Amino acid sequence: MNPLIIAHRGNPFERPENTLASFAAALEVGAQFVELDVQLTRDGKVVVIHDALVDRTTNGRGRVGEMTLAEIRRLSAGYPERFGAAFAGERVPTLAEALGLLRDRARVMIEIKADSVGQDRDAGIEALTVREVRRAGMSDQVAFLSFDRLALLRARELAPEIPRGYIFHGAQSEAVLEGARAVGCDVVMPHKEMLSEGLAQSVREAGLRMATWVVDDPAELRALAVFDLYAVASNRPGLLLEALEDQASSGPT
């Protein structure tokens, strides 16, 4: 069975990552799974941005956690280093805005960034993210992802009905499975450089599913088929979806 293709930060090869334009572009190419990243502002608002700093993808400077939502909204999120002024009108979206765009159109993988995980369980990023998901009526349309074990433990406590995925990079196979069990995950997401037959077998024996990131080349996707992946995150979801469609139409070789 072909893996699911997850639009990583939307469709960032075509539009600035983690913006409404990027998510719309992912939907346009047929993506049914969209991944996005959330951080917490100084005034407790959940915004969609990957980095702890706004420097890389906006025309501003500073830490997300030290800025208010109003301050962040004044910035262009058009990723000027990559796209120049073409998307200068894009803004860092709130999670509520992103969910509003994607509701009933795609399943949303929400990565809770470790930078925003704090001491406050009841008013921290996990609780506020769960609140936005429930407010949008999307508990059955999302999954939570994180590198941070505490974030996933809290997500399980606050919203046990919402699936969770544990992301790894550079860990041993035993640590991957132990971490997944500890937070009650359905999916483990080791980086593609960690993939091995041994890990794949261990994941299957544990009754879990395995996904990976980031794969942008159809040839690489074909090479990874030996691991029977559940899903693959890609910065070029349209290209990979098209490659899978072509493969299906051509039949076995």
**Residue 66 and residue 34 in contact, taking contact as beta carbons nearer than 8 Å:** no
Separation between Cα atoms, residue 144 and residue 229, nearest integer Å:
18
Please report which residue ranges of 15-94 form alpha helices under DSSP H.
20-28, 69-73, 80-83
Respond yes or no: is residue 8 known to be catalytic.
yes
Question: Per the residue annotation, which of 45, 50, 156, 164 is the catalytic one?
Answer: 50
Is 169 among the residues known to form the active site? Answer: no
Q: What is the DSSP letter of 144?
A: E
For tokens 């939570």, name the residue: 144
Contact 212, 229 (CB under 8 A): yes
β-pairing, 142-146 with 4-8?
unpaired
**Pick the catalytic residue: 8, 107, 164, 209?**
8
Structure-token pair, residue 72? 């962040």
Integer Cα distance of 78 and 105 in angstroms: 24
* 8 A C-beta contact, residue 75 and residue 92: yes
Separation between Cα atoms, residue 59 and residue 84, nearest integer Å: 10
Cα 168 from chain centre: 13
SS3 content of the chain, % helix, strand, coil (to 5): 40, 20, 40
Show which residues are catalytic: 8, 50
